[in-house]
Every structure is written in C-alpha cells, then in structure tokens.
Structure 1
Amino acid sequence: MTQTSDLHTRLAKLLDRDDALDLFRGAIGAESITGNEANFVAYLASQMEKRGIEAIATAEFEPGRPNIWGERKGTTSHSDNTSKRLLFIGHTDTVHVDGWREHWQGTEREDPFGAPLIDGEVWGRGSGDLKAGICASLAALSLLDAAGIRLKGDLAFAYVGDEESGQPGSGISAGVKDYTNRIKAGEIAKPDFTVYVEPTRLAVYPAQIGFYIADIKITGKSAYFGVPELGKDALKAAHSVMSALWSHSDDLKSRGHHDLIGEGFLLITGLTGGGFIAVPEECSLSLIRKLLPGESLDDAAREMEDVIRSAIVDPDIAVAISYPAGRDHPLGGSAAEIDPTLPEVRALSEAVAGAMAGRGTIEGAPFWSETPFFVNELGTPAVYCAPGDIRNCHTFEERVDIEEYFAGIVAFACFMARYCGVAD
C-alpha cells in the first residue's frame, strides 16, 4: 500500500461524519440568496473560528454584503519561498427559491433550507451550488487536526458573494473582484494554487468556457395592417438576423474542438415582438455565446455585431445591442484554462480518486464561474473541484449525495497534506 493510500485510509477512519453533516446542514439552513450573503457569512465566521482558522476578516464589497476570509499558517514561513500557499474559495450566495415550497408542498422537501437527509442525499437550496464544497473545505481542515497533521505551507479560505445572477442589480462578481483587488494591493497574500469549490461531482476542471450575453433590439416602424407598405417590419428583420446568427453558430462550431470543453457556439435564448393587428415596430432577441480558451470577448462580440448588421438590408431598421452580464470583462466572462498535466492538478485528481472510486477525472467546466480572476488576472493556477452535481443546481431537485460529500472532505484533506507538505 502506498503512503498516499495509507493517508486516505487513516483519514477516512478519523472523519467525524456527524460533525461534517451538521456543518453542511447548518450551512444550507443559513439562507443566503444573492444580496443576503451576510446571513451565511455570520455562520461561516463561527465555524471558521471553531475550526481554528486564524486571521479571520470580513469586508463589505457592497453595503451590508460582506466577504469573509482567513488562514491557517504553516510551519514554514511563506516569505522564504520554500513553502506554498493553497486557497480554497467559493461563493456564499445562492439562487432564489421561487416556487420551491409550492412544488414540494406536503413533503419532507418543502422547506428549501430544511436540509433533510433523504435516501442518502442532502436536499436544499445551495446544497450543491455550492455549500457542499465550502463545508468540505472547512471539514477537511478539522480532519487534518484530528489526525494530528501539521502542514508546512499555508492554507487560505475565502468565501465571497455576488456570483449568482438573477436578482436585480446583482450577479456581477462584485465579491471576488473586491477580494482579488485586495490581493493585488498586497493586503491579502497571493495564493500559489486555488481550488474553487463549484460542484463537479468530484471531477477536476482545469478549463472552463467563456461567455457573453447579448440583448438585441430591432426597431422598425408600425403601420396599420391594411397598408403594410407604410411600415418597417421589425419581426421580419429579426427573422433575417436569427437566420444569420444560426449560420454564424454553425461556423463557430466548425472552427475547432477543445479537448475538455468542446466547440464554441451561439444560442438564441429569447424572442419577443409583434403588435396588435399592425406591422410590428419592435422585436427583441437574447442570446448567449460560448467562447473557448484563447478567444477574445471583444473580437467575438464585434464579429457577432457584423453578422447582425449585415443581415439587415433596410437602412430604416435600427439595431441596438447591449451586454448585460459583464463579469471579469465588461462584455461577459472570459474563458480560462491551465495545463491539465501540472503536478498540482494531477495530485488533486489522485487525491479524489483515492477517496472515491471513479472520481477525480480531469474534465472541462460547462459553466462560467470565477477562476478567471485568478488564472487570467493574478496568474495563479486554479481549478474547480467539489461534491455536488451542477445539473440539479438552480432547480427544485438540488441535492448532494452524502457519501460524495464525505469523500470530498477526505480528498481535500489529502490534497492539502500533499500540496502544502507535512511537518515532521
């Protein structure tokens, strides 16, 4: 048996499952729909203190909306360049629960924050996205303490708000922007490697898509239906635009395949328009564009705008295009990737595989989250990895397999020990 597998076995036996489950259920019970992150941050502050995390600090990125972070210093000073600093980070906010109670009325699942354990799964809003990951990172530190393992390198923990979209005036990654700006300013030490605890079913994601959302308003001129020649049909113009955009998407798919995240494309997601027995004066489209690592958001948007404008042949038809979902870029979110063969990526993959059979595969993120702030802006390698299944998040089915959660704790603890080094 290898030294690594010995550590997995030892930690799995020492894991306090009752404590880990209580931590997780309490996190779900601390409602934190985007805008109300402070409620969960208060819970995290008490848990971080209880688990021996030091230098705990909070700061508001917007009034009443705090981030929280802290660290456990290693036995070797980070400043001497011989030890490493490992960061676990996740977002504190969740999407809304509109319709949840009505959907599950009269069942054990009725309370979206009740965190019932049903058939080996913990249910509730935020369970997968991403309180399982946050709790696994905290419980992993407690597990190392229970094993008497002291690390040479530093462990850092940061939990930030405003990642989710859907609430008015929010969802622009204001929390992580504030946190990474503090790193740039030297207020917070820069990590050497970052694990962002988005749900991956314990796969390791070293690459993720980029995106932009575009809202397109096409304006013509209304006219009575009996004299349509006096109008300018916005709906007809929109048909031409959509046909051109679908053709553009086919072209994007043909340009190349990324080994981890596939092809780029464009998806029209909404159409509204029409009038009352009249030539339609306005029509609005919404779309989302998937970008691959290496693609420029500016270039991609400019290309799409050229496609739209070339599809409208009537100079009296006006087009306005806006981009409502800026993240690390004013137009949207940048794609990001790191080398999947990096030793730390492989080490995390092996740590997960040792904790749960069939997990730890290296894949690509079919979503956008906040590692570009580290990879692209700070030059810090970052991956996604955590228990939970993104496919049931944001739905009435959100839940996490409890054995996967426990395995995540063991995996994170093993990776912490391997990456940071164990003190004699």
Structure 2
Amino acid sequence: MSETLHNRLLAALDRDEAIGLLRGAIGCNSVTGDEVTMVAYLDRQMRSRGLEDVEIAEFLPGRPNIWGRRKGSGGGRRLQFIGHTDTVHVEGWREHWAGDEREDPFGAPIIDGEIWGRGAGDLKAGICASLAAISLLDRAGIRLKGDVDFAFVGDEESGEPGSGVSAGVKAHVARIAAGRLPRPDFVVYTEPTRLAVYPAQIGFFIADITITGKSAYFGVPELGRDALKASHKVMSALWAHSEEVSARAEHALVGKGFLLITTLNGGGFIAVPERCTLSLIRKLLPGESLDAAARELEEVIRGAVTDPDIAVEIAYPAGRDHALGGTAAEIDLDHSALAMLQESVGQAMPGRGGAEGAPFWSETPFFVNGLGIPAVYCAPGDIRNCHTFEERVSVEEYLAGVVAFAGFIARYCGVEDEN
C-alpha cells in the first residue's frame, strides 16, 4: 500500500476498540461443537460495523455458520475473509494456571503485551483483525469499489467426539458452488501465521491399522499367530517407506513428505498377542495424489505381513475435503493478490509478510482444489503456542494485522476516487 494510505490507516486506528473486540471473542467459550456463543457475538459485531446480508444457518443441529458482507460501490474485485469459530478444549487449563491471572481460559488478560486465552491465536485474532480492518477503513474515510465477504464456520478443529470433519466449511462452499452465495475472486483464511503469508500447505491422511492373529498359551506359542511380531514387521516396512517418500521430492515451501507412526497398542496376558493396532499420519506435498499415496501405503503394509492367517484391516478416520483425509494445496507464487498482501503486511510490521508454507492442514483446499479459487493463510498468532496452555497473541502483531488487512482490502478491492 502507498505510504499515504498506510499513514492514514495508522492515524485512524482505534487500538482500544480493536483490542476489546478480540478480548470479547476470546471470552466466548466455543470449543468444537459449541460454536453458538461465538456466532452470536460475531452477529452483533458484524451488524454494528455496518455489514450487510448477515445470515446465520446451521450446518448441523445447534451448530451455526455466519456470513455477511461489506458492499462496495461497484467495479472492484470480491475478497473473502474466512475463519473457524471453534477452538480446541480447555481441559487442564485452570489447574495449570491455578492462582495466576491466566487461570480463566476465557479471561483474555493482557500480560507483557500479549493477550492470553483459548482461541487467542487459533484463530480469533485473525477473525477479529479482519472485522476491525473494515471499521478502520470506515474511520479513515476510505470507500471501497469491490465487495468484502466474511464467513465464519465451525467444525474445523478435531478432538471432540463426532465432530471435526470440516462440516461448517463444507456447507459454506456448497452454497458458493450452487450460486446461493457470490463467488469470491480471492480468499484469505485467517489461520495464525505470525503475519507470514502461506500460499501452500501440506496434505495428510490418518490410517488406523488393525492386525489380528490368534492367541495361544505362552507355553505352546506354535499354536498361535503373533500379531505383535507382525506389527513389528509392518512398522519396519513403514519406516523404510517413510524414508523413501522423503527422498523423492522436496517442496520449496512445505519441505518433504513422510509418515509418522503415532500409536501402538497390543499384547497378550501371558499369551501370544492376538491383536495389535497402529495409527499413523502421512504428510503429502502439493501435487501428490491422496488416493495414490493410500494405495501405496496399503501395498507396503500387506507386503510386510506374509502369514496368511494374520488379518490386516486399514481405516481412514479423518476425511476432510477428501474421503481419506485432506488434500494439499498451493497457488501461483506470482499471483498479484499474493504480492499485494505481502506488501501490506510488510509495511504494517517490517520483517513480516514473507511467503511460507503451512505446516498444518486447514481448509483452503475447499477453495483452491474444490472451487478453483485462489486462497492463502495469513493472520496474527503463532501456531506453535496454539492448542497449549501457552496460547496467546502479541498485541502489536494483532494491531499490525488490522492495519495490514485494511491496506490489502483497499488495494485489492479498489477505492473510490475521492476527487
């Protein structure tokens, strides 16, 4: 953004109002499955900031999405900000911080220039920065040509029983695909990036493997089929497969693919172990086929079990934008919007705004791969402290995000000629 625009936005920034917006959002308990309080808060905030066509609709009973827009005068491009309203659980938080001002996970205290609480970074800072950016443009007297859409969806986080399958964003993109909501030209998903811009992200699938043999008394092991021994062979083959996958290719932003065995359970009570279970996660690079990767994995697993009397079952419990998992995604690094966003962030907070790869999976593939709409991640907050008792966001980084988003909106959507 131009120096004139940047200075104009800085002069108009109401720090206390923007900080209050975020602290109020953190104060809403919205653990996955209980997003309704956060949506009610956003409904009030969106309407008070002059957004139009604000609507709430349930994607599952008792679990709503919310969306609305700031209409421009016409002739500009359409931008969408999207983020998830749900957070991970707060179990153990109060015990961890007992007697400390951080004891309430929804209290949002400010300590040493950081706002603490569940959801502070993941990802209420991003949601609030996008809404505060609209108010900042209004205070600066900047009128837009293009429209700015906002959509806040539930069910992104995993960990709660029967949820965490991206049901909210699936409902949202279905509306876009059906023409019931306008199609954006560019999407910013407000996952925490420390104000880097992520035009690429990993893909993944989780595999649960059950190996079943036959139990037998320890004194006559020849009568049994040892599932634990078969599991050892499977794990050895999987680790070798991971090394092979890593050696194939390296993506400039997201690195190498691999698989990680995350759990092993099994054994027998003074007997040949009859059953063992393994779980693993496979990281995929942009361009890798999830179906092909799963087929290859199954060949490795079944090839390691040579005893025909030992059964192997493989399940994929974490379908997202694909039945087996989540696809990887990337957009063109030369996309003009990417450069605009990077420049706006770098001006708002020098040293930030670089292009990096997302080390996590979130929901831009629903847009990039599903709808063919370019999308990136960008927001204040540090993913490294999210999902922990240390979750917090820097006040200055958050406010820089507000200014950066306002500048990017103005540049991307276009502004009316004030002369």
How would you bin the TM-score normalised by the shorter chain? over 0.9
The yes-or-no answer on 1:85 pairing with 2:78 is yes
Match of 1:102 in 2: 95
- Pick from 233, 241, 244: which aligns with 1:251? 244
Match of 2:199 in 1: 206
- Pick from 54, 58, 61: which aligns with 2:59? 61
Match of 2:268 in 1: 275
Q: Where do 1:204-353 residues align within 5 Å?
A: 204-353=197-346
Q: Where do 1:82-161 residues align within 5 Å?
A: 82-161=75-154
Q: Which residue identity lines up with residue 418 of structure 1 in the other structure?
A: R
Q: CA deviation at 1:6?
A: 2.0
- Pick from 28, 40, 44: which aligns with 2:42? 44
When the two chains are superposed, the root-mean-square deviation of aligned CA atoms in Å is 0.6
Match of 2:17 in 1: 19
Q: CA deviation at 1:43?
A: 0.2
Match of 2:374 in 1: 381
Write the distance in 1 (CA, Å) between the matches of 2:192 and 2:76: 28
Secondary structure of 2:194's counterpart equals: coil
The yes-or-no answer on 1:72 pairing with 2:65 is no
Write the distance in 2 (CA, Å) between the matches of 1:411 and 1:193: 16
Secondary structure of 1:150's counterpart equals: coil
Write the distance in 1 (CA, Å) between the matches of 2:19 and 2:389: 21
Write the distance in 2 (CA, Å) between the matches of 1:30 and 1:396: 17
Write the distance in 2 (CA, Å) between the matches of 1:107 and 1:87: 39
Write the distance in 1 (CA, Å) between the matches of 2:125 and 2:402: 10
Secondary structure of 2:333's counterpart equals: coil
Residues paired across the two proteins, number: 417
Gaps of 5+ in 2: none
Q: CA deviation at 1:134?
A: 0.1
Q: CA deviation at 1:401?
A: 0.4
Q: Percent identity?
A: 73
Q: CA deviation at 1:193?
A: 0.1
Q: CA deviation at 1:316?
A: 0.4
Gaps of 5+ in 1: 77-81
TM-score norm. by structure 1 comes to 0.98
Q: Which residue identity lines up with residue 74 of structure 1 in the other structure?
A: G
Match of 1:79 in 2: none
Write the distance in 2 (CA, Å) between the matches of 1:379 and 1:405: 30
Cα deviation digits, residues 169-226 of structure 1 (max 9, x gap) = 0000000000000001111000000000000000000000000000000000011111
Q: Which residue identity lines up with residue 261 of structure 2 in the other structure?
A: I
TM-score norm. by structure 2 comes to 0.99
Write the distance in 1 (CA, Å) between the matches of 2:275 and 2:6: 62
